[in-house]
Amino acid sequence: MWPAGSAIPTRNITGSLNGPYSVFVTANGDVYVDNGYKGRVRKWTLNATTSVTVMYVSDVCHGLFVDMNNTIYCSQGHANVIVARSPDGNANSSKIVAGNGSSGSTSNMLYFPMGIFVDINFNLYVADCDNDRIQFFKYGQMYGTTVVGEEASVSFALSNPTSIVLDANSDLFIVDSYNTRIVRSSSTGFRCVIGCTNAGGSNSDQLPYPWALAFDSYGNIFVSDYNKWSYNDTASVTVMYVSARCDGLFVDMNNTIYCSQSEAHIIVASSPDGNANSSTIVAGTGSSGSTSNMLDSPTGIFVDINFNLYVADSENDRIQFFKYGQMDGTTVAGVEASVSFAFSNPTSIVLDADNYLFIVDSNNNRIVRSDPTGFRCLVGCTDAGGSDSDQLRYPWALAFDSYGNIFVTDEYNNRIQKFIFQTNSCVHESWHIPSGII
């Protein structure tokens, strides 16, 4: 934390945080921090060195807000809801105050909500990111009104709004992320106030990819501005520009780079013969869906020696197979496959040299493998997540080393697990579960 006018921090907040997405500071100096990957929101009072859990959540909070009554609001983008916890209840007593848990664009639905703001009358404003709009929910109502966006009474096009603030004059300030600008309401409608060149950049009047916005007590605006990510080291070059984060990466034998963009529901690829800007869509349409040419939040990807593409189609609970050059896929793992097998949020996939699939079945806390008769659980087969050596808790990614050992990122246990490959005299394969972790 930095005092006003200083570039030197005077306080660091720590305490087993795991990928915090959002922070909120109240007028009296209390700090609320999302720790959703550990299933909670934590609070540090002014000058405290330790925190307390004030709210348990089922997923990360992409936005946090605390109103005048100390009610805590958490926007859960993956779940498409806003949940709130009253100060009179316990940390487990949250309820849904906006959204119904499914993505959609009707007045009672949200699609990956991000930033939130609650006014003095306890009305709720939501940056409804993937619907490209700002939704307004009157206190106690579950049906919202579009106040900014193409469906509003005064139409104004937004692209992935991520943060919203209502000032003392009831003017809205919006981070219009993919349009790389800050938008403000006025008596005549909406207008751009920062980053109005229609192009992102690093000049003082430009924003590459703004994310969050806040005011200080003097009315100054602070914007968190993150650029498109590319791998950089002291001797690196940028090989691919992307419009959103890559939830999965793969480089095939021809050095073509593949990037799965869960927020855009597509897989893009960049040929080594092109420049860093020359990527093309190789799977997905850009909209979420479950038809053969669509994806919903794809994550892990794998390309075989014939350049066929396998996709962990996370929110559709399936693995999709796209033959080289084809945009219509086939479900090879999931309830719609020829051999039905139920997955829940698969996040990573690897095809081994024997053409067996290894799949991280994240919400089922297990690793699944194909075999000649179908699919079977290989690791984490107790039907319950945990921290024992034979258990996983929301695993995310999987990889092999050159000896056939499996390494798994065990996300909610904050560890990497190694499972040792073994063969016996009958040439049957198994993976030994060691007692330790790496």
On whether both 198 and 254 belong to a single domain, the answer is no
Q: How many helices (H) and strands (E) does the chain have?
A: 0, 34
Question: What is the tally of structural domains in the chain?
Answer: 2
The whole-chain average pLDDT of the chain stands at 85
User: 10 Å Cβ neighbour count for 236?
Assistant: 9
On whether both 55 and 201 belong to a single domain, the answer is yes
- Tens digits of residue pLDDT in 374-414: 899 998 988 678 888 889 999 999 998 877 889 999 988 89
Q: Which residues have a Cβ under 8 Å from the Cβ of 240 and sit 6 or more positions away?
A: 230, 257, 259, 270, 276, 279
> Rounded CA gap, 327 and 189, in Å?
41
- Which pairs count as long-range contacts for 224-233, CB under 8 Å and 24+ apart, including other chains? 227/202
11 in any annotated domain: no
On whether both 176 and 45 belong to a single domain, the answer is yes
Place 3 in a pLDDT band, splitting at 50, 70 and 90: low
Interior CA angle at 157 toward 20 and 101, to 5°?
45
On whether both 43 and 181 belong to a single domain, the answer is yes
Task: Choose between 343 and 340: higher pLDDT.
Answer: 343
On whether both 44 and 155 belong to a single domain, the answer is yes
| Domain span including residue 347 | 246-419
318 in any annotated domain: yes
pLDDT (mean) for 214-226: 78
Query: At which of 174, 195, 225 does a domain end?
Result: 225
Q: Could you identify the residue written with the tokens 């350049």?
A: 307
On whether both 116 and 262 belong to a single domain, the answer is no
On whether both 140 and 274 belong to a single domain, the answer is no
283 in any annotated domain: yes
On whether both 172 and 321 belong to a single domain, the answer is no
Q: Could you identify the residue written with the tokens 């040439």?
A: 427
**Under a CB-based contact definition with an 8 Å cutoff, are residues 156 and 190 in contact?**
yes
> Rounded CA gap, 143 and 112, in Å?
16
**Under a CB-based contact definition with an 8 Å cutoff, are residues 343 and 377 in contact?**
no
Task: Choose between 325 and 198: higher pLDDT.
Answer: 325
Order of strands, sheet of 298-303, starting from the edge strand that comes earlier in the sequence:
298-303, 309-313, 318-322, 330-333
DSSP 8-state symbol, 162: E
240 in any annotated domain: no
User: 10 Å Cβ neighbour count for 52?
Assistant: 11
pTM of the model: 0.55
Joined tokens for residue 258: 């593949």
DSSP 8-state symbol, 348: E
236 in any annotated domain: no
On whether both 166 and 284 belong to a single domain, the answer is no
Q: How far is CA 371 from CA 256, 356, 358, 400, in A?
A: 29, 6, 10, 18
CA dihedral 124, 130, 134, 135 (to 10 degrees): -50
Looking up residue 372, the CATH number of its domain turns out to be 2.120.10.30
On whether both 206 and 266 belong to a single domain, the answer is no
On whether both 366 and 411 belong to a single domain, the answer is yes
On whether both 59 and 100 belong to a single domain, the answer is yes
208 in any annotated domain: yes
Q: Furthest-apart CA pair in the chain: how many Å?
A: 80
3-class secondary structure for 401-424?
A: CCCCCEEEEEHHHCEEEEEEEEEC
12 in any annotated domain: no
- Tens digits of residue pLDDT in 33-83: 988 677 889 898 887 778 888 999 988 899 999 999 999 999 999 899 999
Per-residue model confidence (pLDDT) at position 435: 40
pLDDT (mean) for 182-199: 85
234 in any annotated domain: no
Of 7-21, 249-263, 268-282, 312-326, the range with the highest mean pLDDT is 312-326
**Under a CB-based contact definition with an 8 Å cutoff, are residues 115 and 162 in contact?**
yes
